[in-house]
A and B are shown apart, each in its own frame.
Chain A
Amino acid sequence: MADIADILASVSGGPSIPQSTLDLQALTRAWVNERTAPELLPYPGELVDRIMQRIATQIEAIEMMNATADPSANFKLVIVQTELERFKFLVRSLLRARIAKIDAYPHHTLAMSQTSPANLSHLESQYLHHHQHLLSSHYHTAFLSSFPQGLRKLDDTAGGISMVDKPDEDTAVFCRILRDAGQVEIQGEQGVGVVELHRGDIWVLRWRDVREGVERGDIELI
């Protein structure tokens, strides 16, 4: 019987992948990338908007099913709600991982949001600005105002040492190559080596070397 199903599936040529499944793949990758990358990645705004829209519709549908209170629909409800919770977890964990990075490097993120505003969502940049404003005004009233004029800055880069904390771009990351992504240089004990990245390979590489590939979709972090 399995064979008949196989034949049927092969004859119909296999249905194309629905957009919602593609979005789940994209959201999953966004989450894994964000969880494993040392640096804040671009904000996938359209994707998150689409998913939030779908989640809202799904919640409405669940309320409708609840209202009818059909006992046979009970089990379906369990499935739908379980899936909803899985989606909510993904979105929540993605956003929380982003906030953790924004909190860890506020001044760096602030400078970055000026050069490429698409990297932060509207709410994230609002949060970042408000939070920094509150913090700096608190520091000023608490102790900075009694410091000499020249020592009051929070983002001083003078004197060869920057006060702005940055994520370490050379951190080692585990990545999977999705499309042949050319060559990268690796720094060994004996000097520089060059390796080819082929589809399906799994590498431990420096984040600096794979960042562009990740943003292009050629490489994913694992």
Chain B
Amino acid sequence: MALPLPPGLTPSEVGFLCEMELVTVIPRQRLESLELLGGPTQPLNPPFPVPLPLWLALLLKRQRRANIQPPAWLNVPSLTQILEFETAETTAAVFSPPPGLPPPTSTAEEEASYLASETLELSTPFLKDTHTSRAQADALPYHWLELSHLVLTHAGDDVEDADAVRRLLRDLREVRMSKLRKGFRVLESGAGLQINGVGGMEVAEVRGFVGGVVDGLRKIGRSREEARREREAEEQENGFGSSSYRDEDDDDMQL
């Protein structure tokens, strides 16, 4: 049956994506490596921490078989620092920068088919160490809001000073949302809005609005845009045309 949802991921689908992120888990009991469809998991050997996908980490946590070690940025000092950046006067127009990216590992090939594994470039949620305890501590990764919500809800006792962290997260969310809304002022019919550092849930939240405004403005401005395109095409034609006129002039001169 066809999917009844409009284009664009729903918040629960963003949450599903976020559950593929790797987090650091401190196992409390042994578990050998499992051959999963998405690749083998690492064997659990208490008390050595291992990276596991969040869905598995939450499953283990719920059954008290493991503890989750929160990502390096999910603590009071890191979040305070990021919040300071977000609220500073000088950086009022931009989000705090996302974690640094490794250089690309692949190149595009003309012949390659769509999504061929030779030309596949990894991205979130499969980037290494964006949500583990070895993540960059001073930057919010793409799934920051979803992941911290899930971790705080299901493994709140693993996060140090969870209430202060929750408060900081709410502040961050509000200040970033208001930035995003301010960014809408520059929305134009042609799209072309750069929002580096935005989070997955934030995209899901504003997608309908931004998409609607951009598309609506485009429909209003369509006649103007078409007129401009025609004018440009005409100017180009005139460019060619004038040379032919000159030819005629030349002919006249010869006569």
Contact = CB atoms under 8 A, between A and B. Distances in A.
A20 B16 CA distance: 19
Contacts of B7: 35-38, 171
A105 interface: no
A179 B196 CA distance: 15
A100 B3 contact: yes
Given A1-B47, A35-B7, A217-B119, A206 B39 contact: no
Interface stretch (A132-140, A149-157, A158-166, A193-201): A193-201
Determine the interface band of chain B, counting residues with CB < 8 A from chain A: 35 or more
Given A170-B218, A199-B104, A83 B1 contact: no
Helix, strand, loop or mixed for chain B's interface?
loop
Interface string B103-118: 0101110001111110
Contacts of B121: 178-179, 217-218
A139 B115 CA distance: 39
Interface stretch (B55-63, B75-83, B147-155, B165-173): B55-63
A6 B4 CA distance: 46
Interface in A108-143: 118
Most chain A CB neighbours (cut-off 10 Å) among B56, B190, B214, B225: B190
Contacts of B189: 187-189
B194 A202 contact: yes
B93 to A, nearest CB: 15
B63 to A, nearest CB: 7
Contacts of B117: 19, 22-23, 26
Interface stretch (B122-130, B156-164, B237-245, B246-254): B122-130
Interface in A38-60: 38, 41-42, 44, 46-47, 51, 54-55, 58
Interface size classification for chain A: 35 or more
Interface in A180-222: 186-189, 191, 193, 195, 199-206, 215-218, 220, 222
B114 A41 contact: yes
B36 interface: yes
Given A96-B3, A203-B194, A204-B210, A171 B215 contact: yes
B195 A204 contact: yes
Q: Which of B40, B123, B197 has the most CB of A within 10 A?
A: B123
A174 to B, nearest CB: 5
A86 B55 contact: yes
B221 A189 contact: yes
Contacts of A89: 16
B211 interface: yes
B207 A217 contact: no
Interface of B: 1-5, 7-9, 13, 16-17, 19-20, 31, 34-40, 47-49, 55-56, 59, 63, 65, 98, 101, 104, 106-108, 112-117, 119-123, 125-126, 133-134, 188-198, 200, 203, 207, 210-211, 214-215, 218, 221, 225, 228
Interface of A: 1-2, 5-6, 17-26, 28-30, 32, 35-38, 41-42, 44, 46-47, 51, 54-55, 58, 61, 75-76, 78-80, 82-84, 86-87, 89, 93, 96-97, 99-100, 102-103, 118, 168, 170-174, 176, 178-179, 186-189, 191, 193, 195, 199-206, 215-218, 220, 222
